[in-house]
Copies of this chain bind each other. A is one copy, B any other.
Amino acid sequence: MATVAAPSHVDLVLNVDNINPNVKAMEYAVRGPLVIRAGEIEKELAMGVKKPFTEVIKANIGDAQAMGQKPITFIRQVISLVAYPDLLSSKEFPEDVKSRARAILESSRGSAGCYSDSAGLELVRNHVAKYIERRDGFPADPSNIILCAGASEGIRSTLKMLSTISGPRTGIMIPIPQYPLYSASIVEYNMEQAGYYLDEDNDWGLDVAELERAVKEARKRCNVRGIVVINPGNPTGQVLTRDNIVEVIKFAHREKLFIFADEVYQDNVYADNREFHSFKKVTKELGDPYDKLELASFLSCSKGYMGECGLRGGYAEIVNMDPEVKALYLKSISAKLCPTVLGQAVMDCVVNPPQPGEPSYELFSKEKAAVLKSLSERASMIAKAFNSIPGIKCNTVQGAMYAFPEVKIPEKAVAKAKSLGQAPDVFFAFQLLEQTGMCCVPGSGFGQRPGTYHFRTTILPQPEKLQIMLDKFRSFQESFLKEYQ
C-alpha cells in the first residue's frame, strides 16, 4: 500500500492542540490501550511469534457471542426473513417466525430498507410498552419509548439534554466504579462527573450517606442534576435490593435529580436471594411524590440471554419528562434519522418472544434457559476461584456479566509500576496480558477508592475456557506475588 508522507504538524487545520478539548479528554477504557495491545498480540500470534500462550482471551468486553455463545434461533430467523422477505414462502421457517417478520415488515412500510421514525417503528414501541407493563405491573406509554442502536445511544441522547454551554457546568452523579460510557460521555458533553463510591464491603450496594457526601461535595463545583444507577451493576455485578432502590429514589427526590436507570442487565440475575426491580416500578409503588420523578430506563439487545451486540438494538423509556422537553428530545434525535430497522426487529423479538403454544416456544425457552443457567454457573465459579487465589478478593457476582475483584498489589510492584509511568493496576493488567493472554480491564478505567486496585473480567468465556483462564490467572498471580512480595 503506497502511503503519502504525513504533512508537517504546523500546516494542518486539525492538530492535537486545537481539536475539540472534550474529545481529547474523554477516555473509554473498555477499548483503551490495553485492548489495542491485545489486538497487536493476536496479530503477532497469527504471524507465528512465540508467546507463553496460544490465544488471547478477550475478557475485556461484554461480548457473549465473541466468546462462543450461540445466537437465539428465533431471533436470527426473524431477522433473516425481515432482511429477505422471499424466504416468507420457505417451508423451513416456523409460522410464528413468519408472522413476527410480516408484522415488522408491515410496520416498516414493506421493507427494512425504509427509514423508520427517529424514535423507531410504532409496532416495536408498542411491544416494548407491553413488555414493561408485564414486567412492572404498571402502565407504560409507547410514546415514551425511544428505540436506539444499542442502549449506549439512548443513554448518550438523554444525557446530552442536561448539558450546558455557559454558566456552571452540569454535574452527573455516577457510581465508582462505573461503566466508562458515562465518564466518557460526561466529558464529551462538557459536564462534570460527581462520583459516589459503591460499598465494596456490602456487596457493592449504594449507601445513602455516601450519596449525600458526594452530592454535597460536588455542588461546590457544579450544578448536580442527574444520578446514574447501574443495576445489575457493571463492572460490579451487584443486584440492588428493593430497599436500597427506595433509598436512592428518596435521595433523588430530595436532591431534585433526574434518574438514569441503566437496567441493561435486567435478565442477568443469578443470586438466589436477589431479583430485579426496575426503578420505574418502585417509584410507582411508592406513589406520590416519587411517581412523578423524571427518569429514563435503558435496555439493550446486547446483553441478557441474547448477547446480540453487533446488531445494535436498544430502547430508552423516558418517564415524566416535560412534554415540551420531550418534543425537543425527539427533535434532537431526528437529525440522526433512525436506528437500524434490523436492530429494532431484534428488540421486537426480545420484548415479544414466542408464547406457549407457538411453534418456536420450546426451542426458544430451552436456548434462553441454557444460556442463563450457564452464565449463573460461571458467575459462581469465577467468584469462588478468585477468592481461593492469594491476594484476590471477589464479591459474589449476583448479576450482570462481570467480576470486579480487588487485587492486593505488593509495594515492590507498585514501585515498579511507578518506574514505568504506569498506574499499579494498569501495570498488573499489562503483565497479565503479556504473560497469559488474558485481557482484563484495569480498575482505574472504572474508578476505585484511592489505594485499592481492581480489574474487571467478564464471566463470558465458555465454561472450559473459563476454567483454563482461571487456572492461568492463579499461576500468574502466584509468580507475580513471588516476584514482587
* A337 and B152 form a contact (CB under 8 A): yes
Tell me the bound Cα distance from A281 to B163 in angstroms.
Answer: 40
Q: In the complex where A83-B76, A322-B15, A323-B6 touch, is A112 in contact with B310 (Cβ < 8 A)?
A: yes
Q: In the complex where A80-B84, A258-B14 touch, is A310 in contact with B323 (Cβ < 8 A)?
A: no
* A322 and B115 form a contact (CB under 8 A): no
The answer to whether the Cβ of A116 comes within 8 Å of any Cβ in the partner chain is yes
* A185 and B12 form a contact (CB under 8 A): no
The answer to whether the Cβ of A370 comes within 8 Å of any Cβ in the partner chain is no
- CB contacts (< 8 Å) of A27 on chain B: these are 331
Tell me the bound Cα distance from A153 to B336 in angstroms.
Answer: 7
Binds B, one of A63-71, A355-363, A414-422, A474-482: A63-71
Residue of B nearest to A182 (CB): B335
* B292 and A312 form a contact (CB under 8 A): no
- CB contacts (< 8 Å) of A118 on chain B: these are 31
A103 to chain B, nearest CB (A): 16
- CB contacts (< 8 Å) of A321 on chain B: these are 14
Binds B, one of A16-24, A48-56, A376-384, A386-394: A16-24
* B84 and A79 form a contact (CB under 8 A): yes
A267 to chain B, nearest CB (A): 16
- CB contacts (< 8 Å) of A15 on chain B: these are 322, 324-325
The answer to whether the Cβ of A137 comes within 8 Å of any Cβ in the partner chain is no
The answer to whether the Cβ of A308 comes within 8 Å of any Cβ in the partner chain is yes
Copies in the complex: 2
* A2 and B66 form a contact (CB under 8 A): no
Q: In the complex where A83-B83, A311-B341 touch, is A332 in contact with B13 (Cβ < 8 A)?
A: no
Residue of B nearest to A76 (CB): B84
The answer to whether the Cβ of A46 comes within 8 Å of any Cβ in the partner chain is no
Tell me the bound Cα distance from A310 to B163 in angstroms.
Answer: 29
The answer to whether the Cβ of A7 comes within 8 Å of any Cβ in the partner chain is yes
* A335 and B26 form a contact (CB under 8 A): yes
Contact mask for chain A residues 249-289; partner B; CB cutoff 8 A; 1 contact, 0 none? 00000001110000000000000000000000000000000
Question: Which residues of chain A (275-325) have a CB below 8 Å from chain B?
Answer: 291-292, 294, 302, 306-312, 320-325
- CB contacts (< 8 Å) of A12 on chain B: these are 294, 320, 322, 325
Tell me the bound Cα distance from A6 to B18 in angstroms.
Answer: 44
Tell me the bound Cα distance from A226 to B19 in angstroms.
Answer: 12
* A162 and B292 form a contact (CB under 8 A): no
- CB contacts (< 8 Å) of A331 on chain B: these are 23, 26-28
- CB contacts (< 8 Å) of A257 on chain B: these are 13
Residue of B nearest to A80 (CB): B84
Q: List 14 A-B contacts (CB under 8 A).
A: A3-B139, A15-B325, A21-B164, A61-B115, A65-B114, A71-B111, A76-B84, A79-B84, A80-B87, A112-B311, A114-B310, A310-B341, A312-B341, A342-B342
Since A26-B331, A63-B115 are in contact, a sample of 8 more A-B pairs with Cβ atoms closer than 8 Å, ordered by chain A residue number, is A14-B325, A23-B160, A26-B332, A64-B113, A65-B113, A113-B307, A150-B336, A311-B340
Interface residues of A (CB under 8 A from B): 1-4, 6-7, 9, 11-16, 18-24, 26-28, 30-31, 61, 63-66, 71, 76-77, 79-81, 83-84, 86-87, 90, 92, 108-116, 118, 139, 141-142, 149-150, 152-153, 156, 160-165, 180-181, 184-185, 188-190, 225-226, 256-258, 291-292, 294, 302, 306-312, 320-325, 328-329, 331-332, 334-343
